[in-house]
Structure 1
Amino acid sequence: MVARHNEQSVQARLQRVARGVFTWWRNVLTRALQWAAVAVRRLPIRNAIVGAVRSWFRPAAVADLRAGDLPTAMTLSAILLAAAAAASGALGLRQGAALWAYAAGLGVWSAARLAVLLALAPSAGAPRERAAMAWAAALPPFVLSAIPGFGLVAFALSAFVAYRALVAIGATERSAARLVAWAYGGHALAAGAAAVASALLAA
């Protein structure tokens, strides 16, 4: 009887300790989140982050970004692409050489599109800095390409976002279409050639 009473007493104490630790952890976490929220609100780049993320869903918002927001916009989009490549490997969607080829392709073709946009933007009446912002806004759709079979959907969606963003920053619809064709055309031709080659090899 005494042993049972002692056992119940120990269990009750352990439960109280567990509740106390949980309450302490919850309070610490709550205060940390509150502090982080206040800190983010005070960050000079907060508006840049919000503006960049908004442009992912509304390409016309690129026109609202300030000149100093470009590094933030490009960094966020690049991080998103890296996360897509990492997720593709972590989820087992791609492995080994296929994963490395996918990650390298994301980086190389993204850089190529940026180079083309920067080279041709002035001829379309769009400042290079703004064209780079349009490029950054058009990167996130490629997250879909992390799923095998969704590459074409990601490509088309990215091209559409780039087109809408270029129009928003001052390029005419015709000029924007020409820029997108040049920027995305090489990728499309290379992908088509690769698909044909794969089909011939499989045959």
Structure 2
Amino acid sequence: MDNRMNTIAGWVLFGCASALGLSIASGMIYKSGHPEKEGYPVESADGAEGEGGAAAVEPIANRLAAADVAKGQASFAKCAACHTITQGGANGVGPNLWAALGKPHGHVAGFAYSDALKSVPGNWDFAAMDEWLASPRKYAPGTKMTFAGLSDPQERANVIAYLNAQGSNLPLPAPEAAPAEGEGAAPGNEVAPTELGNSGTPASGAPSVDPAAAEEAAKKE
């Protein structure tokens, strides 16, 4: 009986020792280190990483100057599921967009706009339409518009140029001039050098005078 108990106890000890050994070995093999930088990069709604922020965007006037109406018409296919843009066209999920630019927000009679959009002051000018197409939910928080927006600034300008050609025909704003490189003192403001420097010596390029020759000339006069 004692021999059987000793055998059982031996096997139990052996099993515990084996489990402990396996635990130590697996810990050495699968050792996990602390990451150098915790967390994950999260992309913002504007498409820019949280720390870097969005890249600078050309003014809408400059993008409209380079806009392609044909490309805007092709991009408008993303909107055609909800909007018509023909004169006298019926409203769909969204209002008819014929001659929409320059009009107040919520201008189409009979269409049930959200209170969020109707409360936005001003008209659909080029800048407002650019913001709206970039992110309807940011432009009018609470809007019923579910479209995520167009992240490409030039694509938005192309669509706006196409919208403008459909009954609005507003004059395009003048492009903004880019700031000159190395802006500083304007050329031509430098002080002209005098013939004599501050020390009383002739400035560079001014003729020098021999004192002895000047005294000889004075005697002859």
TM-score (norm 1): 0.20
Normalized per residue, the structure richer in helix is 1
Q: Give the structure with higher Rg (CA).
A: 2
